[in-house]
Amino acid sequence: MIITIVAGARPNFVKIAPIIDAIQEKKAAGFDINFRLVHTGQHYDKNLSGTFFEELNIPLPDINLEVKSGTQAEQTAAIMVGFEKELQQNPCDLVMVVGDVTSTMACTIVAKKANVKVTHVEAGIRSGDIHMPEEVNRIVTDSLTDYFFTTSTHATDN
C-alpha cells in the first residue's frame, strides 16, 4: 500500500509526525506499506514549516509544490494543479489529509476526481460559522472523505 500524506501548514506537521512514525514502525515489522510526503507549500517560510521537520523528526517531503500565498481561489487552484500532477506522476492507494486548511480541501478534491480514496485526520470538527474559510474546507473535505479519524464524539456525530 502506498499512502500520499499531505501537509501544507504548521498544524499539519504536528499531526503527521506520529502518523509517519506509526507507518515506519509497521514497515519495519514487515508490513507492505510506504508513504510519500507532499508539502503543498501553503506555509513556506522556514520558520513556518522547516523547523517542524527538524524538531519533530519528520523526513523531508518527497515534493514541495511551493504554492505560497495568494487569494483563497489562487491558492486553492495552485494546490489543485500541483497536486494533480503529483498524483499522475506518483499514483497511490490512499491520500491522507489532515486538519482544515486550504491544502486539505484542495487535495481531497483532486484525489476524489482521480478516483483515489481519501482519509481525513481530524474529521468532523465544526464551528458552525460558514463564513470561516476553514469551515468551508471542513465541510467540503468531509463530504468527499472515505475514512474518518475524529477527535471527539461530537466530531464523529458530524
List average pLDDT for each run of 10 residues in the chain, which is 158 residues long: 93 92 96 96 66 83 90 95 98 97 97 98 94 96 97 92
Chain centre to alpha carbon of residue 38: 8
What's the start-to-end Cα distance of the chain, in Å?
29
* CATH T-level assignment (fold) for domain 2-157: Rossmann fold (3.40.50)
Structure confidence at residue 151 (pLDDT)? 92
pLDDT of residue 45: 62
pLDDT score, position 70 = 87
State residue 6's pLDDT score.
Answer: 97
Long-range contacts of 25-30 (CB under 8 A, 24+ apart): none
C-alpha radius of gyration, the chain, whole number: 15
Which residues are CB-contacts of 131 (< 8 A; sequence separation ≥ 6)? none
Residue 55, pLDDT score: 83
Question: What pLDDT sits at residue 49?
Answer: 59
